[in-house]
Each structure stands twice: as C-alpha cells, then as structure tokens.
Structure 1
Amino acid sequence: MLSVWCSTIGSVVVVSLASFIGIVALSKDAARVQRAIFIMVSLAVGAMFGDTFIHLLPEAFKSDGSLATPAYILAGILVFFLLEKFLLWRHEHIPHYGACVHPVGYVSLVADGLHNFIDGLLIGSSYLVSLPVGLATTIAVLLHEIPQEIGDFGVLLHAGFTTAKALWFNFFAASLAIVGAITALIAGELVAAFPKAILPLTAGGFIYLAGSDLVPELHKEREPVKSLIQMLAIGVGIGLMLLVKLFGS
C-alpha cells in the first residue's frame, strides 16, 4: 500500500505543478502558445479515449460485470455535465459584469479547485486498481490539465489579479488534486467497493470531457494540414495509453 501512496502523491504533485506552465506559456510568443494548445488538446482527446477504452472500462467490467457498471458510466457522464453546467468550470461560460471582474476570478478559482479535487479522486482511485491504470489516468489528466491551466491563468489576469497573485492562487487551486487523491486512498481503504464504483464513473467523465468539450474545439480547425496533425496527435495519445497497457504490467 505504501507504493500506491507514493505513486499517487507523486502523480498529483506533477499534475499540480502543471499550473506553473501558465506563466511560462504567457511569457512566450502568443502564436507559439496557441500551437502548443492545439496539439495538447488533440493529445488529451486521444489519451482520454485511450485510457477509457484500453484501461478503465476493461478493469471496471472485470471487477464487476453487473448492470451497476454501465449505470456508473452513465452517472459519470451526468455528473460531469452537471459540474460544467452549474459550477462553470469551463471558463468561457463565466459571465463578465463590466468593471466588476474580481468576483469572476474568484468564481473561476472555486470551480477550478473543485475540478482539480475530482482529478485527484480519479488518479487516486485508479492507482488503487493497479499501477498501469493509475499511470494511464495520470497522463490523460495531465494532458488535459496543461491547456486548462494556461486558460485559468489568463482568466485570473483578466480579472485583475497581479501575475504573482494569479500564479499562486492558480497553484493553490491545482494543489487540491492532492487533497482529492488522499481522500480517494483513504476511502479505498475503508470502503472496498469504492474503486469498483469510481472506475466506471471516471470512464464516463472522460467520455464526456473528450467528446463534449475537447472534440468540438478540434472541429473549429478546418485547415486540412492542421486536421491531419490533429489526427496524428490523437493517435499518439491513444498510442501512449496502449504502451502503458503493454509495458506497464
């Protein structure tokens, strides 16, 4: 169990540190940042779908082949839909009220903190199943987290935060992933059925995130060459998940 704790905490610390990429990215050329996000979103789509269909769903059905598993998958989709709908963690849906922009920044932080807490739950629960499943979920979350944290940082700057304040508040919100991971590990020790429930919930969440949020972003790009790059990046994301499956056991 000690190795599970070490792997989980190490993974969520890496994910939390991704928030610092925001200030690095915004200090670079804007066009370069957009190119990086363009590729990163495509990688995240491949990684999320790959993790779902190569790791999470096979493990979920292997541990529980009853109707409870598909029910949890559907519940995961609905839970993430409600999070997006009511907690406004997708920042482009946060309303701006003229000059009163500071509240927008704090609402963004609360929503992002909850999102990161859930990321920690997903990573911790995945490591309870096996090291390869935990590693695959960490990669999928990280690839999705990097472009999101860049956006988070931009929202805070737009809300009137100083660069230093935006960076540290953003990092604090990201660090809630550690709290989520610890919660998952403790719950897994106390409730034996916890990993069986959280795996299909995670799968449903990834299906929703990749299919509802990220794929529509990719459809905004119409150029044939960039569309080909998107396909290749999606393939690389899926390939990473397959490599973890083949060599991580």
Structure 2
Amino acid sequence: MTVFTWIILFTILGGMLSVLGASLVLFLPKKIITRMLPFSVSFATGALLSVSFVGLIPHALEEVGHENFHTLSITILGGLMFFFALEKMVLWRHCHHDDCETHVDVHAHGHQSAGSLILVGDSVHNFVDGVLIAAAFLTDIHLGVVTALAVTTHEIPQEIGDFAILLQSGFTRKKAILYNVISSFATLIGGLLAYFWLADFEHLLPYVLAFAAASFIYIAVADLIPTLHKRINLAAGVEQILLMLFGIGLIGWLHSFIH
C-alpha cells in the first residue's frame, strides 16, 4: 500500500475504533465502566509515554542531525506549553472520571452548552491526532502504525468521558454516538491535510514528530496521571504501575516487531 492509503486507513480506524469502543462500553453497567476506566487510563498512559520516548523522539533526532538537537528540544518544550495553553482555553478538554470540573458544571447548569463545547474540543483534538498520525507515516510506516495504535488507546477512555458529559448535558445516547462519529472524521481531515502539506515540507517532519511527542507527554503527565493519583492505596498503585509497564512494553515490542 502507498503511504497515502496507510494514512487514510489508520486515521479512519483510529477515529472510528475509539468511538466504537467507547460507545460499546457505555452499554455496560455503570459499576463495570467505573471499574474498567482506571485500567484503560493506566494502560493508555504507558502507551503514550512509550510512543513518545521509544518511537517519536528517537526518529525525530535521527532526522534532524546533531546540529539541530537544541532546536528539537525547544520544539518539545514549546509543544508542552502550547497544549497547556490550549487546555486552559477549554478548546481541548479531557475528562476520565465523574467528579471533574466539567461534570460539576454540567450538573450545576443542566444545559447543552457544555456538551457542545466538548464536541468542538474533541474535533480539534481529533484533527491534531490526524496530523500527528500522518507525520509519523510520512517518516516511517512502522512508526505510523504504533503511533495510530497509541492514539486509539488514549482515545477510548477519553471518548467514554466525553460520552458521559454529552449524556449528562441532555443528549440522547443515539445523538451522542452520532455526533462523536462525525467528530471522529476530523482525524481523517487532519491526516489528509498533513499529507499534502508535509509532503512538500519534509524538512519540517522531525519537528512535527517532536510536537506529537509533546502532545502525548502532556496528555499522559498532565491529564491521565493526575486521575491515577485519585486512588492512593498500595494495591491500586501496584496495579497502575503494572498496567503502565504493560502499555510501555507492548508499544515497545510492537515497534521492534514491526521493524
């Protein structure tokens, strides 16, 4: 298959599988969903960190050469600041548990504005994911595959949180699924635009990969890990560490195996 075909396939799969996985989970009893979320968040944390430090950053360093290491590091730092600012502006909002500020606002106001805002933020998020997946595929097919898999592992717990907000905002289950499916196509749009743009600016690819790594690191460290600290007992800590190590190991193994 051509790189273009890979990008189309995995941006569609990445967006649709996460929505499908989240929507199927929503039909389970709430107690089971509550029990499953910490497992999936722990695994996603490890997977995102592994893709960043095992896949994206090493590839970016190989591409730029020694003389541009400093610029690449600044790109990662700038990316972390960018995503912090973006989240502050509530354009990018993740929620993986029921008692976060977004949910409190929904209970307090009881209207659809919070749900609509989630859809806008999710579309922006999906668009950026598409750009990152395309950049990884333009660098290396194998890197593209593991990057797309890491995006999907993160998206499922996020989509479950988004679904919960939409339902609490007054959306029906059907509408919540429909709007999230529509939002997922932003991943494909981002991938296609990145393919046609980055194909003519190959020298920018390492910096896009560094920016992608910053995105994944920020999500893991600033968003996912704080939710894991909600459970402070020893058994939960051991469980989280083991699942994170599993996510790290699986992505690392996939990266080596595909190569």
TM over 0.5: yes
Which whole-Å CA distance do the structure 2 matches of 1:114 and 1:27 have between them?
26
Corresponding residue number in structure 1 for 2:2: 3
Which whole-Å CA distance do the structure 2 matches of 1:228 and 1:207 have between them?
22
Any conservation in 2 of the 1:19–1:146 contact (CA below 8 Å)?
yes
Matched, 1:90 2:94: yes
Corresponding residue number in structure 1 for 2:208: 198
Instruction: Note the 1:100-179 alignment, pairs <5 A.
Output: 101-179=111-189
Give structure 1 stretches of 5+ with no counterpart.
none
Corresponding residue number in structure 2 for 1:53: 53
Any conservation in 2 of the 1:187–1:194 contact (CA below 8 Å)?
no
Which whole-Å CA distance do the structure 1 matches of 2:62 and 2:213 have between them?
14
Q: 124-133 vs 13-22, which deviates more? A: 13-22
Question: By how many angstroms is 1:93 displaced?
Answer: 4.2
Look up the SS of the partner of 2:197 in the other structure. Answer: helix
Which whole-Å CA distance do the structure 2 matches of 1:49 and 1:19 have between them?
22
Instruction: Note the 1:51-90 alignment, pairs <5 A.
Output: 51-64=51-64, 65=66, 66=68, 67-86=70-89, 87-90=91-94
Any conservation in 1 of the 2:55–2:255 contact (CA below 8 Å)?
yes
Which whole-Å CA distance do the structure 1 matches of 2:106 and 2:42 have between them?
29
Matched, 1:29 2:26: no
Which whole-Å CA distance do the structure 1 matches of 2:101 and 2:129 have between them?
21
Question: By how many angstroms is 1:99 displaced?
Answer: 4.5
Which whole-Å CA distance do the structure 2 matches of 1:3 and 1:230 have between them?
39
What is the identity, as a one-letter code, of the residue corresponding to 2:75?
A: Y
Which whole-Å CA distance do the structure 2 matches of 1:28 and 1:164 have between them?
16
Any conservation in 1 of the 2:135–2:194 contact (CA below 8 Å)?
yes
Corresponding residue number in structure 2 for 1:42: 42
Q: 226-235 vs 106-115, which deviates more? A: 226-235
Q: 162-171 vs 190-199, which deviates more? A: 190-199
Superposition CA RMSD, Å: 1.6
Corresponding residue number in structure 1 for 2:194: 184
Residue 13 to residue 88, structure 1, CA distance change in 2 (3 Å)? closer
Which whole-Å CA distance do the structure 1 matches of 2:215 and 2:139 have between them?
18
Which whole-Å CA distance do the structure 1 matches of 2:231 and 2:29 have between them?
20
Which whole-Å CA distance do the structure 2 matches of 1:168 and 1:22 have between them?
13
What is the identity, as a one-letter code, of the residue corresponding to 2:127?
A: F
Deviation by residue 1:122-152 (Cα, 9 ceiling, x = unmatched) = 1111111112211121121111100111111
What is the identity, as a one-letter code, of the residue corresponding to 1:45?
A: T
What is the identity, as a one-letter code, of the residue corresponding to 1:103?
A: S
Look up the SS of the partner of 1:27 in the other structure. Answer: coil
What is the identity, as a one-letter code, of the residue corresponding to 1:132?
A: H
Q: 101-110 vs 12-21, which deviates more? A: 12-21
TM (normalized to structure 1)? 0.94
TM (normalized to structure 2)? 0.90
What is the identity, as a one-letter code, of the residue corresponding to 1:14?
A: L
Look up the SS of the partner of 1:190 in the other structure. Answer: coil
Identity %: 31
Which whole-Å CA distance do the structure 2 matches of 1:14 and 1:88 have between them?
21
Which whole-Å CA distance do the structure 2 matches of 1:154 and 1:97 have between them?
12
Any conservation in 2 of the 1:43–1:236 contact (CA below 8 Å)?
yes
